Structure 1
Amino acid sequence: MFLKSLDIFGFKSFADRTHIDFSSGITALLGPNGCGKSNVVDAMKWVLAESKSKNLRADKMEDVIFAGTANRPALNVAEVALTISNENSLLPLEDTEIEIKRRLYRSGEAQYFINGRQVGPSEIRKLFMDTGVGKAAYSVMEQGKIDQILSSKPEDRRYLFEEAAGISRSKAECADAERELEKTKQNLQQIEISLAEIKRSYDTLKIQSEKTTKFRKIKEEIFNIQLDIQLLKLKNFIETKSRNETSIVEVEEKRNKVRKEIEDIQNSLTENTDFVKDLQEQVYACQNELTKIMGEKNGKLELQKQQSTRLAEIKDKINQLEIKKTNIQNRIDNLNEEVGDAQSNLHEKKKYLEDTKKNIESFQQNIEAAGSQITENDERAAEKRKQIEDLESQRVQLQKELTAITEDIVTKLDAKLRDAGYSEGAMNQAKAKLEEIVGRLRIFTEGRKNVFGDASKTGCRSAEEGTKLLNEATAAFEETHNMILSLEESLKSYIDASPAFISEFLAPEGIITKKREIDSKISDNIKLVNDLNQMIKDLNASNVTLSMKINEYKDTLSKLKQNEVAIAEQLKSNEEKITMLQRSISQEEVNLRTNDDEVYAEQRRYEDTEEQIANIQEELAEIEQRGAQIGDKQRELYSKIDECNNKVSGKQNDLQKKQEQQDKIQREFERLSISIGSLDTEIRNVKQNFSEQYSRDLMEYEEHMYTITTPPEKLKEELAKAKANLESLGHNINLMAPEEFTEVKDRYERQEANYKDTLKSLEDLEQVALEIKAKSSDMFLDTYNKIKKNFHNMFRRLFNGGHAELRLEDPANILTTGIDILAQPPGKKLENIALLSGGEKTMTAIALLFATYQVRPSPFCLLDEIDAALDDKNVSSFVTALTSFANISQYIVITHNKKTVMGAGTMLGVTMEESGISKIIALRLDDDIEKIRAEVINENDDFVEEDVEPEQGVVLPQRPEPRKKAEQTQGDEQSVTEQNTDENNTSSDTNAENNEAQNEQTEGNDK
């Protein structure tokens, strides 16, 4: 993979559309402070989906859009396009050339493109995962990144090793899996709660459904048995009626024949014929009337029997409706209890929701208060920095005064020395002679002291020894006196050789005192600046603590909002449940009203039937009375006929016999007529009772009537048994239970299947997370060991000795452990990297960066003034190492150092010909500059390029030969060369200021 070009339009100071072509190897990016060099780095980070505005040195993301100058209006869009060669297919796309583009409008709308296809920022980040390229990888190294690598927090260094190990994508996938796992656990918990609720309804309705199903089955069995009984009864009535109709036809024929014979006998009678005939007709009329009365009576008796049966059936149905009413009322009471429980639960949930909202509001207020405190701290820090700027201005003025007074001291001192004829040789000679005499005097007096001391201890053994000792003492004092005279002469010579005007400089009102006063002011100024810096650090530390609290508050706030959403869902579920229960109650109340209507109707029918029975009994009494009257009349007529017939002798006996035969036939006819009428009534009553009881026509089952083989006695036994079974079920039957159970069963089975699927998904996610973690741990540990070995070797080469070591803080937890860096430059003890100097830290970070490149090199890398803290020797080592890796990766280096520039194959100049507008000029280095670069690189003879071999499998692109002719894309070559020369000449003068500015920038970034 190779970085081909960068197109910038409207991004920060690049108001014009700017195209930058990149070459392989090392490219130096030069330009004075404030010209927009770092904006090129920010543009690359921005197009690689950097989402934090502070990492782009902006307060908010819209600040990266060109804000305008005095002569240029502001733009409304910023666009950066990065073109990358993908010939080795390092990126998981089939295209050999890939263009990454990002566009931002001032309205806040953002767009991302890959080869013209609009995508999201996450897709761009995933595209570069595990390649070493990206906003969080090691393809962009700034001084802030150096501090991040060498942070005091070992866990902050993991990203470098994770990217090198190629587990960034796996880590992101693992994080997604863990988020999905947590979400699945929450879903599983909700499903378990819902499943438990449905299971309770499921178990209850299952028992009720089984009972109701059994109830329905028995009712159906009773219906079928009663149907068979009624059909057999109907069949018996129909067959009997058919036989009676056949018999009555035969009897009617016989009656007509006897009547004809009687008429013949009566015709033979002369005198009494007409009278007897009239009497006979009256007898016939009475007989017919009696037949009608008898039929009417039998009909009324049968009707009374039917009404009594119907009355019992109505009473039984009323009892069933009362039982049904009790069941419905029980269900309504149960549903009302469930509604009460649900409303109570709903009230508790609403109260909990209100408490949660209050907590959310409280945490939001805490976050706002902490944010306000941070803003206040930032303002106070800004005031302190303003005071520091004023103090630094004062210190600069004091430095100027100190420089001036120092120059005055030197000037005056030279003049005084010339006026005094001061000779440093004469002064040194007088001083040496003075020191010689003092030494001789010290040695002589010590020797005499020892001699006289011994004498005083032993004493004088004779007068001669005492005289001799006194003579020696006299000679010793004379010698001492002479030495003192010589000492005085030497001291006078030394004083004469010393400049006499020194006292003027050292006097309280002298120039040295004034210099000391300025030094004291400068020291006080520095101390005050240090105090202000400490205050700023304390404010920053307070802001960090407040930021941590804000993050904690935000985490808690996020959880509270999740709880709020979950509770809202539960409230919605409870409200839906209450609505469903109330709908069920309404339906049951409708059923109850319907049942009450049926009870009322049946009671009316019961009363009507009782009234009809009473009317029938009254009609029977009337019919019996009319029958008695007609019987009496008939007997009276028979008596008259007998009187007439006694007058007739001959044929009267025959007539009597025929009349007796006629009466017998007539009685048979009447019996059959009554029976047929009664059977018609029975048939009609059977049909009517079945229709009233079951609301169905009995004749629908006419075909089944002729297929029944079970005898009635057997059917009655089965009916009694079925009614006993029905009675054993009790009266509390939920008639809608099977339908409700079917609905709840479907819900339960769906929820149970959902629970099993969710549980399986949970197990799969846990397995995936474990596999990803195990694989990532192996990859991380393997990469860590390689980098650890390479880091030690690279550190020794860059420092020309010493020892460096990486250590895992918690080896038992590979995926979360921090990484400690211990460094021991030559001549120092092994110590934590936080105790090293700025230059040593930078070199250590460079060693770690190149050690990482030996394992997984980034295709291209941007280095933003990371050599600022290095001295010339370390810069040479850095450039040598950088050049040795130029055939592995492509480097763009922002620098002010001449040696670093000499190590580059291409130079990119950034200028501001127009105020506030950056412009790019590109040059190729010629052969002469290439020779100088080689000389600079070869200054460090200890670094062997062949030692920097990448890991096996890494493809190393060949470094192209430098061109001899300059390639100028914008501007004039001579002006650019003069400009870059002037910039390089001023770079060393501004290194200290740059370091201070970068330290302030680092503190701002940390804040």
Structure 2
Amino acid sequence: MIRFSPRPSCLSHAQSDRNRRFQELRGEDALKIPPGITVVVGPNGSGKSNIVDGLKWVLGEQSVKSLRGKEMADVIFNGSSSRRATNSAEITITFDNSSRLLPIESPEVHITRRVYRSGEGEYLINRQPSRLRDIRQLLSGTGMGTQAYSVIEQGKVDVLLQSSPRDRRLIFEEAAGISLFKSKKLEALRRLERVEQNLLRLSDIVDEVESRLRSIRLQAGKARRYKEYNDRLQELRTQVAMVDWRRLSERLAAIETELAELERRRESDEAESQVLEVAILDVETESERATESIRSAESRIAANRERIAARESTLAHERRRSRDLEREAATLRGRLAQMTVRAGDLRQQANDTAEACEDAQRRHQEIARRATEGERRLTDSLERLDRLRGEHKQREAAYLEQMAVAAEWGNRASALESRAASAEVARQQYQKRLEELQNQRETLARQHESLGREAETLGRRVAEREEGLASARGELDSARARAKAAQEELAERVVRHGTAVQRISVLEDLQRRQEGVGAGVKQVLGEAHAASDGPFRQVLGLVADLLHVSVEAAPVIEVALGEKAEQIVLAEAGEIGRYLQDHSHRLAGRVGFVALDRLDSDIDRQTVDLHDRPGVLGRADRFVESEPRCAPLVRRLLGRTWVVENLADALRLAESAPRGLRFVTLAGELIEADGSIAAGPSHVAVGLIARRSELRQLASQQTALEEELVECRQRAEECERRVQRRKDDVRRLEQEHRQLLDARGQLNRRIDATDERRAEVDRQCAVRESERDDAARQHEEAVGALAEVQTGWQTARAALVEMEREVVALDRRVEEVENERRESLRSTTEVKVELAKSEEQLHNLKIRLRQFEESQQERQRVLTENRQQMANCLQQARQSAWTILQAESEIAELYLHKEQLAAKTVEFVNRRNELAARKAEAAKNVQYIRSRIRKLEETIHARELAAGEIRHERNTLADRLREDYQIELSQLEIELNEEEQHRREEVQQEIDELRAKINNLGNVNLEALAELKELDERHQHLSGQYQDLTSAKNELLRIVERINSDSRRLFSDTLETVRGHFQQLFRDLFGGGQADIVLEDEVDILESGIEIVARPPGKEPRNISLLSGGEKTLTCVALLLAIFRSRPSPFCVLDEVDAALDEANIGRFTEVLQDFLTWTQFIIVTHSKKTMACANTIYGVTMQESGISKRVSVSFEDVSEDGRILPSALRRANEQAQRAVDDEQTKDEETQAA
């Protein structure tokens, strides 16, 4: 568990109760970090940096390389020699959100990340599934993201300084809190792009809907006429059907009357036939009775024979059975003798088993007594062992206390030795420094003169650079203005080119899908495209495909042609005509054909010339270009159509011009040859002809636009290069000017510093003399105190050795008692095993005794059964002798009865022959009557067929009306007068005319009326959506502009604040020097990179890549803490950042950290003991078990000078862990023994 506090507190833990592991970290470990500075120490390779990796990982790190792996599954614990691998890894970090730093209304915010070995992963916020994007937005602007400034990893201290200016800018954006604004801006730009795409698509859809709307209006007019014709046709067909229905009903009634008379005659004949059949049945019944009597007598005779055979069989069987019973009785007598002997043997075995059971019972009681005695001895051993362990703990505690006393004496001695040595070294250093200061005093006087001369020279050079810089900036402004104009022109050309390309794509797609063409026409064109021979090879294409019209004239020609633009042009009409005679019903819709071979070249030649009339623009065929072979087609379609300027001119010309001419205006109004007018606003965007004309024009314009685009891009690139050259010149001059100013400032500061240094050297000389004397006095005092402390340390050490001997002796006694306890436990266990065996033997003997008793009872039962069987056998022998006598008597009686039955059978045969003659006479009469009935039935069937045909005609008539108009003719009541009933021919003629009109209408879309309403509503809805999208686009543009404005303001303010803090902290950490943060491009600060300039004290300004490792680290720390001071982050992780610092710099580094502890916690992974000295908490990480990192609690004294954990601390931690394991094992053994 990792807890950061106080602003805001966070909690991160590896879920121990779920056995989750992260790399080598033990899943059950929890790491608690209190406020202040927490230091993590341990040897190399022990897993310290896994804490940093785990923190980055839970905050959303996606780079597997930065986590020191090849794939995300590498963060899962992969097992060791003693532990199994796990299938997942999980970390949860919890923020104390009481200050509402995070935008969630919850006092605590939990962030969890899991990854499974299968590659799946998940994120949770407050234990609810979330996305990585949600976590990044939550942490945006707090400095806690993976790419923010709160984690500085091992080996990457100088990445902040060495990264590119644009990469370095990301950290400043996080500090300024505009990273969230930037993500919102990107989202707004993506939405703006989607809105623009939707606007383009919606525009095309509106155009398509408007085209469809015009077509549907025409179809709706046809649908209205169709409905009128169909209603009148229904009325007339209903009248005709009613007349036919009544006529058929009258014929059906006459036939049904005739059928009734025929049925009466057939029933009379059938009654007479039935009387004769009854008489035949009586004869047959009597004959059957005679036959039955014959069969009965014969059956009784057969039964008599069977009974005689049965009795003879029974007699033989009983004689054999009597002999078998005598043999069985002899067998049973022998068996009874054998069973009596075996019963005596079983009684003897049962007595022997009972005696063995009593002996086993006595042995079991003796073993139980021995087990009780062993339990008592084991209890005594445990009590003695507990007493010794308690005494051992007391002695060990006293030993640890004495060890602490000895360590304290040793630390005091070491401190005094260090003080004495430090005092002597300081005295020598002060003496040496005093000599150096005296030499410096003379050198500074010479430097002061030289610096004065250099200052005059630099002043002249600065004035020259200022004049050159002003001139270069003027040239840069002019170049930028020209580049901006070139970019605007390029943007305009790109938009025009993109619009043309997109429009070409849309038109080609519409043409490829044949949008606006009927289904039947599409079918014919598809067949023509697929067929290499056959009737469809004569297809040349649509009329619209063969005409070439300018874009301006296309709408007018579109109106003039109307639906004829969709007609299919044929080279010859012969084959397709023959094909349509048999297959026209297969077409998916109505198709119009026009054949070039059927058009006369002189047909429809225009003889009237209206070109000189006011308002006339020309004949329509003059606006069209085509192949020579299509010229007759163009004249046929457009030769009598004139294009005029407006409707007034068209009306005037229609009155005065010859009949048969058509007029179309530029606005799309049309006056037909019959005088009908089509007018009204037209919203048609793209028709067939207009689409093809626009496509041809755009294709020709695209090449010119591409050439213009290339020229504009070249001009813009040249302007950009010119601007870049001017920028380079200005940047170079500014750099030179800054260098000169810095040099002059440094020179002035050097002059001032020289004066101050001279005064300082005089003061330091006096101070160093005083310090030298103080150091000598401190050395003498430390040497005197050291002797006394060493005496106390030796005394404490001797007492410690004595206590250690006592603890070792007590360990041996504990071990002896422990051995006694183990021996008692072993012997007691053996006795318990023997006792269990005795119990099992006694139980087996009892079971065997019970089995003998049960066997004895079974033998007695079998003996009784055998005796009963013998008695039964004797009784059955006597019964068999009686049965033999009875059977012989019955056989004699059966032979007498057989002779009497044979005489009766002869009498029954004579009676049956007499009845057969009477039956033949009656059957002849019945056959004659049945022939008359068959003739009547044939007549009835014929009349029923006639009635069925009439009913079928009526049903067909009713079904036809029901299917066509949903009218039930049988339920219809219409009063028809005589005139209407005799007007059948006139009505039928009107019906034929209505059907012809309906057929002339062609394909009628009955859904057109409903579809017209739906399309009107859809057009209004789409228009509203177009306006909404336009408004949304304008709103998104305003949002982007507002985000840019706010981001520019926040970034500028933050940069200035961080810059000031960075300059101050750099001087504090280096004891002087200068540093600065500079924008690459001050004009576009939202995209400008950031440069870092640093000059340590006593050195010239240099590139940060040339700084030493320690200087880079201190510079990075200064920049990091400057960002922290301007926008504090709740925590900061520093992974071995002090590795490149010496002792003095580490001291300054830790002093600076103290200023930030009010609002920030620091987690420092280090090997430096001086860094550990400033820590509030120290944790040690070791890897005693291969592949398993283990946390141990250590103190400052438990760490060596090189940052390693002392073996004594590890032994103490292991002993504590082992004692806990031993106690747990002892409790388990006692539980098992009980």
TM-score class, shorter-chain normalisation, is: 0.3 to 0.5
**TM-score, with normalisation over the residues of structure 2?**
0.36
